[in-house]
Amino acid sequence: MPHQIRLRGPWNVRDGAELASDHTPQRMTMPCRVSDVRRAFPRVGSLIFERRFQSPTGLSPRSQVDLVLSGLSGAADALRLEPASITLNETLLVQPKEHEPDSGRDANRFGCPVLPLLQPSNTLAVRFDVVDVEKLDAGTVADQTEANPEIFDVWLEITD
């Protein structure tokens, strides 16, 4: 049975257009609500969710470590943003719009092996970019109480 290590928080969330600026990122715990993100970033064109974590210990030569993200497409729809990239230690894991889930698998869930990429200290980054500026201008999710899903959940899944 796989062992899970949840990457709940803290996550640093920042405006992707302001990478070179001195803006302090907002700290959030995943999964959080879309309205929490939109309150912190009401008119943003891209968002970067970043989480630092240490490598799991006690791994054997037979161990497999997968990074699993759940809820990406639902979060993207509600944020009016599109998942643009997922990186681990600045190595591109996937561009979600190019990812085709296996037949019978949840299209809202992504997983990939990451053991060779793990370092003693790691940084995971999930970037969302604006899909349609007109949709962004139509209002924020915080104004729509019926549509306030959780933002994606993330964990490491370890099997021996």
Q: What are phi and psi of 54, to 5 degrees?
A: -90, 155
- Write the single-letter amino acid at 71: G
- Is there a contact between 126 and 152 (Cβ–Cβ < 8 Å)? yes
What's the count of helices (H) and strands (E) in the chain, helices before strands? Answer: 3, 10
pLDDT at residue 74 is higher than 80: no
- Average pLDDT on 64-69 reads 94
* 3-class state of residue 40 by DSSP: helix
Query: For residue 113, what are its two tokens?
Result: 């092996």
- The CA distance from 44 to 106, in Å, is 28
User: Cis omega before residue 42 (within 30°)?
Assistant: no
pLDDT at residue 133 is higher than 70: no
- Considering the entire predicted model, what is its pTM? 0.80
Cite the beta strand spans of the chain per DSSP E: 3-6, 11-15, 26-28, 46-54, 64-70, 81-88, 91-94, 109-113, 121-130, 153-159
The pLDDT tens digits of the residues spanning 105-124 come to 455 678 899 999 999 999 99
pLDDT at residue 19 is higher than 70: no
- Write the single-letter amino acid at 12: N
Query: For residue 48, what are its two tokens?
Result: 């970067």
Helix (H) or strand (E) holding 142: none
Longest dimension (CA), the chain: 52
Q: Measure CA 115 to chain center.
A: 18
Query: For residue 134, what are its two tokens?
Result: 């007109």
Residue 40: pLDDT band (50, 70, 90) is confident
3-13+24-159 to CATH, choices 2.40.160.40, 3.40.50.300, 3.65.10.10, 2.60.120.260 = 2.60.120.260
